[in-house]
Structure 1
Amino acid sequence: MDALIEAFGSYSIGSVIVLVAAFIFLYKIYRKAAQAIVEQHDTKKAQDEKIQKILDQESKYPEWRRQSIGIQEKLTDRLDNIEQSQKSVIRRLEEIEAERKRQKCNELRDRLLQAYRYYTNPDANPRRAWSEMEASAFWDMFGDYEKNGGDGHMHTVVQPAMRALAVIPMEEQDKVIELMQSRR
């Protein structure tokens, strides 16, 4: 103990307390500084990792661009194929529509010719007349024939002959009955 008194004997208790308080204060400052430095280091490390990830992704951009161009080319090829298929389908639909119109025109021409033969035949229709309703039905059918592209003899032979027939109004029931009775 003598050695302790000899080493620290000249110091008072107050000086020792101040010295201990100074050491405690310095230790706390050291801990806070060390903690701040560690936090700053961790933040910088996380930031560096994020930057490295961004740089790694940026280096993949040329590869992604090539993939994107490849996908665009495939899509363009598929769209071209779809367009070609669509044109083929449209062409086929147009052919089908033309065939349907041709068949409808032939059917209407046949029905119009049957009506023409019946109404202009002096044996079947001696009065060479028809009712207003028969005329209306015939001319409606004739209009459909024209809409489907019908032409030719129907306009030069049948149409003039049918226009020459007398039309009996439906209100004149007695004349319509006489007309129907005169036919065979």
Structure 2
Amino acid sequence: MENEKRQWQSKSQAMPRIPRTKGERGYLTSLIKLLNEVEKQTDVNNYISFSGSKSKQKLESYYIRLRPMKFLYQKTVNGNWEINEKINYNANDDNYNKKVATLLNDNIKYISEMLNFIQEPKNINEILDNANNEYFLTWKENSQIYDRLHWFMDLGMVDHIKYEKKYVVNRLGLEFLKKKSTSEKRRNK
């Protein structure tokens, strides 16, 4: 129990603040674009833009935003940025979405908890209330919830029921939760 509490406390409350590229894989497309720049060792002072976003900043500012989620790291101060081997992009990897989801879940609060909660369709206010009341998060606005939902919609694990303004975890999301709970049970033995 103490170890679980420590793990929860060490997690970030915020999702990575990177632009969401226009298209069905929005955040994932943006992440892959940034990882490709790391791979090419593009100068961190270069500016980068994303389709459908007005944001244009230096690469390093985006890299810094991805560091707390453990997507990227530097071995030394001012050293080259490197990609976490758990997330290294391979265009032929069918499990890439699951790798990204796992890294987000391992490093950010209220990911699998949210996915578990939305096994039945829920609106944004119900999800925010669950986060604040059950997990003692202190979010006054729903932007943190929207960020999580959009990331997991882009990962193909959450569906938006537009006419009801509700969100629900789908088959891929349920598979992710099942695999996550199985691996956590093995770890706790």
TM bucket normalised to smaller = under 0.3
Alignment TM-score, normalising by the size of structure 2: 0.22
Q: Which has the higher helix share?
A: 1
Q: Which has the higher strand share?
A: 2
Alignment TM-score, normalising by the size of structure 1: 0.22
- Greater radius of gyration (CA): 1
